[in-house]
Amino acid sequence: MQLLRRGNIIYFEFNGFYIELIDSEDLNDIVNIYNSNELFLKVHIGKESITRNWVCGELDIMQNEGFYSCKVVQKKSNKIVGLIDFKVDKETYLSLLMIDNNFRGQGIGIIVYELFEMYIKSCNSTSIRIDVVTNYDKHVLDFWLKNGFKIIENITLNWNEKVLPAVVMKKDL
Q: How far apart are CA 57 and CA 14, in angstroms?
A: 30
* Domain-embedded: residue 35: yes
Domain annotation covers residue 149: no
Instruction: Give the β-pairing of 91-99 and 127-133.
Output: parallel
Quote the pTM value: 0.91
* Phi, psi dihedrals of residue 9, rounded to the nearest 5°: -90, 125
Tell me which H or E stretch contains 81: strand 79-87
Position 173 in a domain: no
Query: What pLDDT, on a 0 to 100 scale, did the predictor assign at position 123?
Result: 86
Classify the C-alpha dihedral 53-54-57-62 as positive or negative.
negative
CA distance 65 to 1: 27
State the pLDDT at residue 12. 74
Q: How far apart are CA 56 and CA 44, in angstroms?
A: 17
DSSP lists the bridge partners of residue 96 as: 85
pLDDT at residue 136 in the model = 85
Mean pLDDT by 10 residues, the chain (173 residues): 51 81 95 96 92 96 94 94 95 97 92 90 94 91 96 90 93 97
Residue 144 included in any domain: no
Q: Is residue 40 part of a domain?
A: yes
The H or E element spanning position 145 is: helix 138-146
Domain count, the chain: 1
In degrees and rounded to multiples of 5, residue 64 shows phi and psi of -65, -25
How far apart CA 16 and CA 74 sit, in angstroms, is 6
pLDDT score at 10: 58
**Is there a domain that residue 117 lies in?**
yes
The CATH number given to whatever domain includes residue 122 is 3.40.630.30
Residue 51: closest CA among 38, 34, 69, 39: 34
DSSP string, 46-72: S-S---HHHHHHHHHHHHHTT-EEEEE
31, 45 in Cβ contact below 8 A?
no
What's the domain range around 14? 2-130
In a domain, 120, yes or no: yes
Position 171 scores a pLDDT of 98
